[in-house]
């Protein structure tokens, strides 16, 4: 059963349908509060930090459509000096790499690309795939276990980089549907970040415990920098995220859509495998909630949502990922 209004199915945790085929999330949907006050806070913050350091902010930059549009906004709308940070998980598509080079050049921004030893990432991805209890069910409602592995590495490693480079803001290109309102503009308390980082490292302790200081802040560093934890800001939540406009803008600076990736990613080949495993295990696509929210909020049409949920898994890409991670056919 699939909701008549959004795209949730009964497999999605906590979903019930009324007799007219509409899900409880759609029935209780209310227009979200206006996000513009967050932009006012962001602009005030910019006023207090601008041009006092080599970089005003660091942007987690995958080279995908959303982070590209975010970089455009940071440069053209907010006039910031941005250091882009790219995490190379070994599966960035060739076109996405070309986009990263081209877009950062076009938008006059430095880029650091961080590539941890692939053998370490391989072990972490394999563990995320084979150990079904590595992350909580709640953590996996919006992202596959593979994505969750990367997202957290990026979050805590970019934090260490920003602290070391004295950068006061970390910007993420999360789009509507991907995070909740409380995360649009925050200055997290150091102890919260230290605690969530610790549970991530603990989940991967077999591989990370020997080398965690290379990648992440130590408990002492968190305390030492307690007063200068950066702000975390998600500008796409308080800007126009109408898809045709996003595409128009990024294409105008020469961004090209990679052709070897599924409909819900514009940079990472591994995303497809993560989706396949998630669907096999939980019975729903990890993008279901996000795309349903986009439909409810009117950012995309239901027809486009349906297209995104059609899981045209590219078998060649999946085989490539399986081989690179040395997975045998029994892993799912
Ligand atoms: Zn619904």
> What confidence tens digit (pLDDT) does each residue in 20-34 have?
999 999 999 887 778
Confidence tier at 243 by pLDDT (50, 70, 90): confident
Q: Percentage of the chain surpassing pLDDT 70?
A: 99
* DSSP-derived 3-state class of residue 13: coil
> Distance from the CA of 91 to the center of ligand 1, in angstroms?
33
Using pLDDT thresholds of 50, 70 and 90, give the confidence band for residue 260: confident
* Backbone phi, psi, residue 252, to 5°: -65, -20
Q: How many CB atoms lie within 10 A of CB 45?
A: 18
Query: What are the start-end ranges of the E strands in 105-200?
Result: 110-114, 169-171, 185-186
CA of 24 to the centre of ligand 1 (A): 7
Distance 286 CA to ligand 1 centre (A): 16
Q: What separation in Å is there between the alpha carbon of 67 and the centre of ligand 1?
A: 28
Query: Contact 97/260 with Cβ under 8 angstroms?
Result: no
For residue 303, the CA-to-ligand 1 centroid distance in Å is: 14
Which strands, in side-by-side order, build the sheet including 169-171? 110-114, 82-87, 57-60, 169-171, 231-233, 185-186
- Cβ neighbours of residue 127 under 8 Å, at least 6 residues apart? 134, 204, 206, 207
Ligand 1 centroid–CA 137 distance in Å is: 21
| pLDDT for position 330 | 73
Q: How far does residue 183's CA lie from ligand 1's centre (Å)?
A: 23
Interior CA angle at 80 toward 74 and 82, to 5°? 80
Tens digits of per-residue pLDDT, 290-319?
999 999 988 889 999 999 888 677 888 999
Per-residue pLDDT tens over the stretch 186-235: 999 999 999 999 999 999 999 999 999 999 999 999 999 999 999 999 99
Measured in whole angstroms, the distance separating CA 181 from the mean position of its chain's CA atoms is: 15
Q: CB under 8 Å to 239, separation ≥6 — which residues?
A: 39, 73, 77
Q: Which of 311, 268, 321, 291 is nearest to 25 (CA)?
A: 291
């Amino acid at each position: 059963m699939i909701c008549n209004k959004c795209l949730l199915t009964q497999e999605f945790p906590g979903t019930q349908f009324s007799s007219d085929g509409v899900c409880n999330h759609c029935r209780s949907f209310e227009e979200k509060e206006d996000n513009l006050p967050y932009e006012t806070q962001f602009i005030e913050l910019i006023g207090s930090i601008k041009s006092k350091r080599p970089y005003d902010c660091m942007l987690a930059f995958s080279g995908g459509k959303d982070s590209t549009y975010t970089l455009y906004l940071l440069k053209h709308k907010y006039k910031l000096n941005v250091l882009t940070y790219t995490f190379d998980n070994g599966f960035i598509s060739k076109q996405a790499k070309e986009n990263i080079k081209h877009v950062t050049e076009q938008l006059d921004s430095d880029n650091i690309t961080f590539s941890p030893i692939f053998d370490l990432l391989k072990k972490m991805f394999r563990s995320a795939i084979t150990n079904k209890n590595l992350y909580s069910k709640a953590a996996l409602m919006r992202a596959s276990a593979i994505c969750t592995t990367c997202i957290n590495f990026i979050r805590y490693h970019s934090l260490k980089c920003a602290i070391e480079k004295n950068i006061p803001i970390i910007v993420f290109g999360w789009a509507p549907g991907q995070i909740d309102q409380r995360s649009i503009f925050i200055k997290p308390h150091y102890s919260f970040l230290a605690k969530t980082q610790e549970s991530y490292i603990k989940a991967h302790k077999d591989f990370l415990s020997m080398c965690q200081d290379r990648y992440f802040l130590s408990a002492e560093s968190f305390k030492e920098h307690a007063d200068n934890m950066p702000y975390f800001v998600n500008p796409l939540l308080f800007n126009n995220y109408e898809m045709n406009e996003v595409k128009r803008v990024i294409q105008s600076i020469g961004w090209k859509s990679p052709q070897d990736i599924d409909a819900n990613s514009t940079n990472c080949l591994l995303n497809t495998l993560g989706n396949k495993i998630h669907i096999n295990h939980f019975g729903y696509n990890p993008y279901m909630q996000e795309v349903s929210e986009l439909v409810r909020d009117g950012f995309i049409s239901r027809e486009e949502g349906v297209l995104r949920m059609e899981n045209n898994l590219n078998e060649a890409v999946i085989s490539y990922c399986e081989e690179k991670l040395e997975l045998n056919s029994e892993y799912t």
